[in-house]
Amino acid sequence: MYLCGATVQAPPHIGHVRSGVDFDILVRWLTASGYQVTFVRNVTDIDDKILRTASAQGVAWWAVAERNQRAFTRAYDALGCLPPDAEPRATGHVPEMIELMRRLIDTGHAYASGGGVYFDVRSYEHYGELSGQRLEHMRAAEDVDESGKRDPRDFALWKAAKPGEPAWETPWGPGRPGWHLECSAMATKYLGSTFDIHGGGLDLVFPHHENEIAQSRAAGDGFARYWVHNGLLGLSGEKMSKSLGNSLLVDAMIKEVRPAELRYYLGQAHFRSEIDYSPDALAEAAAAYRRIEGFVTRAAEAGPATDPGPAIPGAAALPPGFSAAMDDDLGVPQALAVVHEAVTEGNTALAAGDVAGAAKQAADVRAMMSVLGLDPLDEHWTGPGGDQGLRPVIDALVGVALRQRQAARDRKDYAAADAIRDGLLAAGIQVEDTPRGPRWELRR
Ligand SMILES: [Zn+2]
Ligand SMILES: [Zn+2]
């Protein structure tokens, strides 16, 4: 599977990482179904916006790309997306691109002109089929200046060097990769001339994927057998843009919301549906996740182990309703309904003191949630890096402080008692006195 990954012009907001979560669920489901998955997700590390950002900030283009690629990696990791088997960068694959251009020029599908290399869209009779468009209804491709093109709808495989911009040598002159070409070159380098799945956001169907198919098929490659596109994440119907400011950057959001809850929010919708971002919907998703987490945690505390076995269980170990939903066009919403039913039954069992019955449901819930990358007791979420792992440690430390506060109160030293409370507050720990004794919360 090849997933069109990030153009690393800026750090990711939550709209950028939705495809990471959706395709991570697909990788996990294919793995659970017994397939051996090779997953390649590329990085576009050069484009106009990266160059503009670099010159505006007075830094090298590759430093901009590196910094933002790290931010994407951080975001994918935080959300529990399994790392790809390969993460090729465009600028590392210029020889493969030259080779592909040579094949296209030799077969009459591309031509060099004015320092650039262009694909002749009229030479490929199936152009427009993926996006359901007819060539005669298409307008000019907007990628570069038109001067070298034979037809305004032709698109650039290679962009001629401009003064002050980075450039690589080719037989047709120095320049830099066109966006579409790099994905064809990288996908076939790592996955072969024909491979199974090619994924990306719905906004990539045209022109990006239409052009990838044209290049690769015209060159004689079978290319992708299946195309899978995820819906976008919008704000009140608008495609998310950088003008929304920094509040929806993943780095910022995971300080406000637990990463597992953010993943649940992004992954719960059907992959093809559009998500219209709203804080209320995010809060609802977080509550739904906490309901699942609360049950498996209580079940684990109540009795026998609920370990689901391997990190990604085989489909045979999963409730049939869950598997049927996942097999039906990756129906995560229906699959989650099966999870929530099991949680309800498990909670009923717990309330009735049926520890074994609860443990069985908890094992099922954990196995199903593993497929969604969200087993609440997985060490990704509970380990030292997750925000659950330190909880017992903090709990013990807060307990020490609270006993000292109580001792201060007992001797009527209210200044000392208040100082302890203020010290905890300064550390982000809010203490609340309840009839059942003090309890604490991390202030978000
Ligand atoms: Zn791509
Ligand atoms: Zn692509």
User: How high is the pLDDT of residue 371?
Assistant: 97
How far apart are the C-alpha atoms of 211 and 102, rounded to whole Å? 17
* Beta bridge mates, 111: 118
What the block records as the tokens of 43 is 């990085």
Q: Ligand 1 centre and the CA of 2: distance in Å? A: 9
| Residue ranges with CB less than 5 Å from ion ligand 2 | 4, 183, 200
Listed in sequence order, the residues at least 6 apart from 260 whose beta carbon sits closer than 8 Å to its beta carbon are 80, 289, 293, 374, 376, 381, 386
Q: Which amino acid belongs to residue 345?
A: E
pLDDT tens digits, one per residue of 180-216: 999 999 999 999 999 999 999 999 999 999 999 999 9
* 8 A C-beta contact, residue 322 and residue 338: yes
Give the pLDDT band of residue 375 (cuts 50, 70, 90). Answer: very high
Of the given ranges (46-50, 151-155, 199-203, 435-439), which has the lowest mean pLDDT?
Answer: 435-439
Which ligand is closest in space to the CA of residue 183?
1
How far apart are the C-alpha atoms of 429 and 440, rounded to whole Å? 6
Return the SS3 of 200.
Answer: strand
Q: Ligand 1 centre and the CA of 7: distance in Å? A: 9
How far apart are the C-alpha atoms of 19 and 200, rounded to whole Å? 7
Q: Ligand 1 centre and the CA of 258: distance in Å? A: 30
Give the pLDDT band of residue 314 (cuts 50, 70, 90). Answer: confident
pLDDT tens digits, one per residue of 2-20: 999 999 999 999 999 999 9
Instruction: Please provide the average confidence, as pLDDT, over all residues in the chain.
Output: 91
User: How high is the pLDDT of residue 399?
Assistant: 86
Taking the CA atoms of residue 181, residue 163, residue 143 and residue 202 in that order, the dihedral angle to the nearest 10 degrees is: 60
User: How high is the pLDDT of residue 242?
Assistant: 52
CA separation (Å) from 360 to 262, 299, 305, 326, 343?
27, 9, 10, 21, 11
Q: Ligand 1 centre and the CA of 208: distance in Å? A: 7
By C-alpha distance, which of 202, 198, 207 is closest to 226? 198
Q: Ligand 2 centre and the CA of 145: distance in Å? A: 23
Q: Ligand 2 centre and the CA of 328: distance in Å? A: 24
Which ligand is closest in space to the CA of residue 42?
1
pLDDT tens digits, one per residue of 242-285: 556 677 899 999 988 999 999 999 999 999 999 999 889 999 99
Which ligand is closest in space to the CA of residue 212?
2
